Amino acid sequence: MIEKIGQTAGEVWQLLNRNGETTVAKLRTGTKSDAFTVNAAIGWLAREDKVVISKSGNSVKVALK
């Protein structure tokens, strides 16, 4: 499971690098991963201080630092 989360973290980083700030929902679609794995990958990147997470209403957005 850790390997899958790490791989997804790389995919999330690549998507953010190409597209800029993106919603978590679009990251799920872009990585073709389930919600748990994408959320864990975002947490991984946040722990490494590589992303900024913001919430507006019901929408959560992620961007690279």
pLDDT of residue 51: 98
Contacts of residue 36, Cβ cutoff 8 Å, sequence gap at least 6:
none
pLDDT of residue 39: 97
pLDDT of residue 41: 98
Q: Which domains does the chain have, with CATH numbers?
A: 2-64 (1.10.10.10)
Q: How many CB atoms lie within 10 A of CB 23?
A: 13
| Tens digit of pLDDT at every position of the chain (65 positions) | 999 999 999 999 999 999 999 999 999 999 999 999 999 999 999 999 999 999 989 999 999 99
Burial 26-58 (b: 16+ CB within 10 A, else e): ebbebbebeeebbbbbbebbeeeebbeeeeeee
Alpha-carbon span 39 to 42, nearest angstrom: 5
Q: What three-state secondary structure class fits 52? A: strand
